[in-house]
Amino acid sequence: MKEEFQKQGIIFTDTDTALQEYPELFKKYFGKIVSNSEHKFAALNGAVWSGGTFIYVPKGVQCDIPVQTYFRINGENAGQFERSLIIVDEGASIQYIEGCTAPNYSTNSLHAATVEIVVKRDASFRYATMQNWSDNVYNLVTERGRVEENGMLEWIDGNLGSKVNMKYPCSILAGPHAKTSVLSMAFANYGQHLDAGCKVYHNAPHTSSTLISKSVAKDGGKTDYRGSVYFGKHSDGSKSHIECDTILMDDLSSSDTIPFNEIHNSNVSLEHEAKVSKVSEEQLYYMMSRGISEEEATAMIVNGFMEPITKELPMEYAVEMNSLITMSMEGSVG
């Protein structure tokens, strides 16, 4: 696989190696999207970062093979602070998929990563993260990308694990006709607080964003959507559409939608809708009348609810995500 990338001139390595072997390219972009002074976790990552993913896609290269990485916390009471830097040059395109997990320990661990993405003119990039950290991990991640003229940045953000999750993929639409989409999902069980969402800055004319959030809370779990959309003075003709849907499986669970919109241009369009519901009794009755148990029917309904997210994943990831959701649903009935 790596040989195939090399044939196309794609650089795919870890950030430590990239700093040594491609210092000029690395230093040109490193720290330009996320500053170490922004908040305490960015400062912590900037001080102690180690490892992470480095990708550079040359001009005009269209790569159909997804780049895949896997992060794992192996130690007890540990901290993981990887730093990823991804540059997709003019007219290029590629997909990236990242998986995260950790064994269960009795003490807490911290994951405080930073991700910087640059999408040049006419380029497109899809960044997919599926995290299933154990319930003792605090997942506090900073992810941000800058999109230039006519570029496209897609985020697919799946959150199933961790004790506390605070992650808000951010897109800065810096050039005319730049676009972004964020598809995020969260499934919170007992003792979990999954605070997810996104941020979009419309800083150029005729930019667009589509933000869709799906969440499920069960057994006293808590999910929050925290979204921020900014329209700058030069964002004429720009538009944003936001959807937030939540299913609460019981009376112990909770969910909040916390939008923040800042608009400095009267010639823009912003749509926002939010909905909280329970599993449909009519759907349950229909499926159970056809011989499906209540627990299986409930799991099928929840998987269908998450389908707009899972259908965007490669087949093997979608199957695994559906399996994890089904496992999380065990014991939800009765």
Residue 32, pLDDT > 90, answer yes
Contact 249, 217 (CB under 8 A): yes
- 115-124 tens-digit pLDDT: 999 999 999 9
Integer angstrom CA distances of residue 242 from 176, 208, 246: 21, 11, 14
- 212-264 tens-digit pLDDT: 999 999 999 999 999 999 999 999 999 999 999 999 999 999 999 999 999 99
Domain ranges for the chain, please list them: 2-278, 279-334
255 conformational bin, left if phi > 0, alpha if psi -120 to 50, beta if neither: beta
The percentage of residues in the chain with a pLDDT greater than 70, rounded to a whole number, is 99
Integer angstrom CA distances of residue 219 from 31, 82, 223, 287, 316: 40, 32, 12, 23, 28
| Beta pairing partners, 217 | 188, 248
Lowest average pLDDT, out of 71-85, 169-183, 208-222, 257-271, goes to 71-85
- Kind plus residue range of the DSSP H or E element containing 25: helix 23-29
Quote the pLDDT of residue 106: 77
Average pLDDT over residues 299-317: 88
- Token couple for 170: 């951010």
